[in-house]
Chains A and B, each alone.
Chain A
Amino acid sequence: MNKFKLDWLILPLLGIAVILGLWALFSATWAKDLPSPLKTWESSKPYIVEPFAKRGEMDQGILRFTWYSLTLVAQGYALALIIGTPIGFFLGLSKGFTKTFDPIIQILRPVSPLAWLPLGLVLFLGTGKEAGTYGALFTIAICAMWPTVLNTAVGVRAVPQDYLNVGRVLKLSRWKTLTKILIPATLPYMFTGFRLSLGIAWLVIVAAEMLTGRPGVGGFLWQEYNALIYEHIILSIIVIGLVGFVLDRLMSLLEQRFKTA
């Protein structure tokens, strides 16, 4: 156990340094259009040091953009959980329901967010200016739902017969069996699903913003690509990655908390 104490800090920093080095090398050699790390930093500085500034619709501090994206993700994600969890319970509880809907779920599940978005826009054409928002919400919800649906279903099927026997011996009502036995026993699986769903919701938001042009990290990225300010693409990518990482950590903490036995 004579290991270097700070390896948890030093080694990741080393990893980052390696990537920065490669990045600088590439931008200096064969990818001339790729901005160097230093240039990226200089160009991104106003967005980072004033993260909440609002200079125009598509010229705002990076955290302000992130905030827009997060609020939309939160809504879409909430929708995904509200719809997905009960579907998961039905799938887990009823063989008939599974036989009826499992094939269609398996077909819809691998469909890319980029394919859903136009459909979402069409669906909400009637709302006029808000179609973009509703379309994006629809896309997030329908793409992020599947891990929650499937994990909940697996969790419900995995509830030990012993627990259900306790419920039967006590003659618990259906509602009490659900709230006292099924839901607590399924929670760990549900939270694994929730965590995966959040990851997907965050992936989808960027695509949705790029296509709808909504203000947000993804919209910013696409706009700066069109404006030929490539430094900001990299800034956006880093921010998207960091936010995704933090969200996953937070969910993982929640998941740990709900681990039962």
Chain B
Amino acid sequence: MHIKARPLRNLILTFTPMPFLELNGVCKGFGGPEVLTDVNLAIERGEFVAIVGYSGSGKTTLISLIAGLQKPDRGTVKLNDLEITGPGPDRGVVFQNYSLLPWLTVAENIALAVDQVFPNHSAEKRTAIVDKAIATVNLTPAREKLPRQLSGGMRQRVSVARALAMDPQILLLDEPLSALDALTRSTLQDEFERIWEADKKTVVLITNDVDEALLLADRIIPLTPGPGATLGESVAVTLARPRDRKALNHDPEFKRLRALVTNQLLGFGAKRRATITKKLILPDILPEDLDVPRTSRKRPLRPHEIKQEEVAAAT
């Protein structure tokens, strides 16, 4: 029995797929202290991974490294076992601030990407790809509009459509929804889920919203706060798909996962928390009565007349 088991284990090892995207001991600083220290990450093909962290913890730096817009100081970033040396259309990036070219219409913005990625396709075929991408994000009526004529949510859809149209091997979403209002955000989250269900692309989503990560991702990896940020223990999200946001709120597993991830993040935060308390001095100011005619207003208070209230505040 013992002897027989060994080849079986070897077989399993051989069939274990190589990680599709692999970061090994990646460090990155911008001259100063390191923003990211020893980041290790392995993502399988077709996986939807969310990286959750505080703002300023180096999330955007991480995605820039994967996109190839930045080079790591140490360590390697590999896609498909090939080291990433620069940006390229095999990694579709959706930036936080949309990054649409304001002088091009929706269709032209996407066509710029499509023409670049599929130079050998016929013009009709490229137009068809553009149209399909626009339809995927439900923007067909806005096809000929300029970005400034669109709302923030619509602009971000264009940005997503542009990334999808390039048919990248991996989609990198850099806080794509954080600039949007809550309602638009949830609509777009549902749309992301639908789009991902349709073609199961590998996705790395960077976000600061734990609920968003739980709704969309297969796996959540918390990022410790910077400087010197690194990835924490990953949490597998085992919730069944399609996930319904209303039902999820009452799902005990959802609650458990949310508590887990939140606690991890808060745990990092606690380490960072300083233990000083300082006194906040609030000036004693009464709201001005605007109905009183301006001429009858009293002179401004002299410094010694200001009553002060002391509040002990913990930071």
Please give the residue numbers on chain A whose beta carbons come within 8 Å of chain B beta carbons, in ascending order. Answer: 162-163, 165-166, 168-172, 176, 180-181, 184-185, 187, 260-261
Scoring B residues 142 to 164 as 1 if CB is less than 8 Å from chain A, else 0, what string do you get?
00001110000000000000000
A181 and B108 CA atoms in complex are apart in Å by: 13
List B residues 105-157 near A (Cβ within 8 Å). 112-113, 116-117, 146-148
A172 to B: closest C-beta gap in Å: 6
B87 to A: closest C-beta gap in Å: 4
A184 and B67 CA atoms in complex are apart in Å by: 25
Sample 21 A-B pairs with CB under 8 A, ordered by A number: A162-B95, A165-B95, A165-B99, A166-B101, A168-B86, A168-B87, A169-B87, A169-B92, A169-B93, A170-B112, A170-B116, A170-B117, A171-B88, A180-B101, A181-B101, A187-B103, A260-B103, A261-B102, A261-B146, A261-B147, A261-B148
A residues near B99, Cβ cutoff 8 Å: 162-163, 165-166
On whether the beta carbons of A184 and B87 are closer than 8 Å, the reply is no
On whether the beta carbons of A168 and B69 are closer than 8 Å, the reply is yes
A176 and B148 CA atoms in complex are apart in Å by: 23
Interface assignment of B97: CB less than 8 Å from any CB of chain A: yes
B residues near A163, Cβ cutoff 8 Å: 99, 101
Can you add 13 more A-B contacts, CB < 8 Å, to A165-B87, A169-B69, A170-B116? A162-B97, A162-B99, A166-B101, A169-B87, A169-B89, A169-B92, A170-B89, A171-B87, A171-B88, A171-B89, A176-B116, A261-B102, A261-B147
A residues near B166, Cβ cutoff 8 Å: 170
A166 and B99 CA atoms in complex are apart in Å by: 7
B residues near A170, Cβ cutoff 8 Å: 89, 112-113, 116-117, 166
8 A-B pairs with the lowest CB-CB distances in the bound complex, closest first? A261-B102, A162-B99, A168-B87, A260-B103, A184-B103, A170-B116, A169-B87, A260-B102
A163 and B69 CA atoms in complex are apart in Å by: 13
B residues near A180, Cβ cutoff 8 Å: 101, 112
Number of interface residues of B (CB under 8 A): 23
Interface assignment of B219: CB less than 8 Å from any CB of chain A: no
A127 and B148 CA atoms in complex are apart in Å by: 54
List B residues 38-71 near A (Cβ within 8 Å). 67, 69
A residues near B147, Cβ cutoff 8 Å: 261
A residues near B117, Cβ cutoff 8 Å: 170
Interface assignment of B28: CB less than 8 Å from any CB of chain A: no
Partner of A169, one of B88, B102, B146: B88
On whether the beta carbons of A172 and B97 are closer than 8 Å, the reply is no
A126 and B91 CA atoms in complex are apart in Å by: 61
A180 and B113 CA atoms in complex are apart in Å by: 11
A171 and B166 CA atoms in complex are apart in Å by: 12
A residues near B148, Cβ cutoff 8 Å: 261
Partner of B91, one of A166, A169, A261: A169
B62 to A: closest C-beta gap in Å: 15
On whether the beta carbons of B101 and A165 are closer than 8 Å, the reply is no
A residues near B93, Cβ cutoff 8 Å: 165, 169
A180 and B109 CA atoms in complex are apart in Å by: 10
List B residues 200-245 near A (Cβ within 8 Å). none
| Highest count of chain A CB atoms <10 Å: which of B97, B101, B112, B146 | B101
A254 to B: closest C-beta gap in Å: 15
A residues near B146, Cβ cutoff 8 Å: 261
A166 and B117 CA atoms in complex are apart in Å by: 13
Question: Which A residue sits closest to B92, measured CB to CB?
Answer: A169
Question: Which B residue sits closest to A187, measured CB to CB?
Answer: B103
Known: A260-B102, A261-B102. A165 touches B116 (CB 8 A): no
A83 and B116 CA atoms in complex are apart in Å by: 31
| Highest count of chain A CB atoms <10 Å: which of B93, B95, B103 | B103
Question: Which B residue sits closest to A260, measured CB to CB?
Answer: B103
B residues near A176, Cβ cutoff 8 Å: 116
A residues near B86, Cβ cutoff 8 Å: 168
Question: Which B residue sits closest to A184, measured CB to CB?
Answer: B103
B residues near A165, Cβ cutoff 8 Å: 69, 87, 93, 95, 99
A122 and B173 CA atoms in complex are apart in Å by: 63
A91 and B148 CA atoms in complex are apart in Å by: 30
B residues near A168, Cβ cutoff 8 Å: 69, 86-87
| Highest count of chain A CB atoms <10 Å: which of B102, B117, B148 | B102
B216 to A: closest C-beta gap in Å: 22
A143 to B: closest C-beta gap in Å: 31
On whether the beta carbons of B112 and A169 are closer than 8 Å, the reply is no
A73 and B193 CA atoms in complex are apart in Å by: 61
On whether the beta carbons of B91 and A184 are closer than 8 Å, the reply is no
A122 and B230 CA atoms in complex are apart in Å by: 69
B128 to A: closest C-beta gap in Å: 19
| Highest count of chain B CB atoms <10 Å: which of A166, A168, A169 | A169
B19 to A: closest C-beta gap in Å: 22
A166 and B158 CA atoms in complex are apart in Å by: 13
Partner of B101, one of A169, A184, A187: A184
Partner of B116, one of A172, A185, A187, A260: A172
A residues near B112, Cβ cutoff 8 Å: 170, 180
A187 and B91 CA atoms in complex are apart in Å by: 30
A261 and B102 CA atoms in complex are apart in Å by: 6
Question: Which B residue sits closest to A258, measured CB to CB?
Answer: B103
B residues near A185, Cβ cutoff 8 Å: 101, 103
A172 and B91 CA atoms in complex are apart in Å by: 14
